[in-house]
Amino acid sequence: MKKYTSPVYATKAIHVSQIKPSSYRQNSFAPLEMKLLHESIKSDGYTLPIVCYYDKSEEYYIIVDGYFRYRVLIEYADIYEREKGFLPVVVIPKPCTARLASTLRHNWTQVGYSEKNIAQILKKVREMKLSDQWLAEQLCMEQGEFEQLRKMTVDLNGN
């Protein structure tokens, strides 16, 4: 059996100019939470790396998890200057469908999702021609649970 090493053991400093958000970011942050995150990073530094995958074709690190930590660096000059524009990054090497699943799992376990965000996810899954069964499996849901989730979004987007 091949030895597995978790990506966190290979954290590296990447300049923010080489990082961008994914096209399927799902969660949101209130202004107060953003201020608290800024204060946390100001007081304690970055204690968690940004989770990314590396897109060779675009030559960018695409954020899977840590979008708001990224935003603190680009929106707050004190943090940008202190960190010299660099963020701690962990890279997970995955194909595109697995990247979406990683993003869903990271964000769902931290903040959950609103109906609007669930509708966005379902739309992206359909665009990628992935099945509802695939999404349910990625979210560790039974089919009945997934159907309830789907019903939440019907009124929002008519799908």
Q: How confident is the model at residue 110 (pLDDT cuts 50, 70, 90)?
A: very low
Contact 97, 124 (CB under 8 A): no
Q: How confident is the model at residue 159 (pLDDT cuts 50, 70, 90)?
A: very low
- Mean pLDDT across the stretch 145-152? 68
Q: How far apart are CA 120 and CA 116, in angstroms?
A: 6
Query: Taking all residues of the chain, what is their mean pLDDT, rounded to a whole number?
Result: 79
Higher pLDDT, 106 or 3: 3
pLDDT in tens, 4-62: 888 899 999 999 999 998 776 555 677 888 999 999 999 999 999 998 989 888 899 98
Which domains does the chain show, CATH number per domain? 10-95 (3.90.1530.10), 113-159 (no CATH)
3-state secondary structure 92-148: CCCCHHHHHHHHHHHHHHHHCCCHHHHHHHHHHHHHCCCCHHHHHHHCCCCHHHHHH
Helix (H, G, I), strand (E, B) or coil at 153: helix
Output the pTM of the full model.
0.66
Per-residue tokens: 16: 């923010």
Per-residue tokens: 19: 């990082």
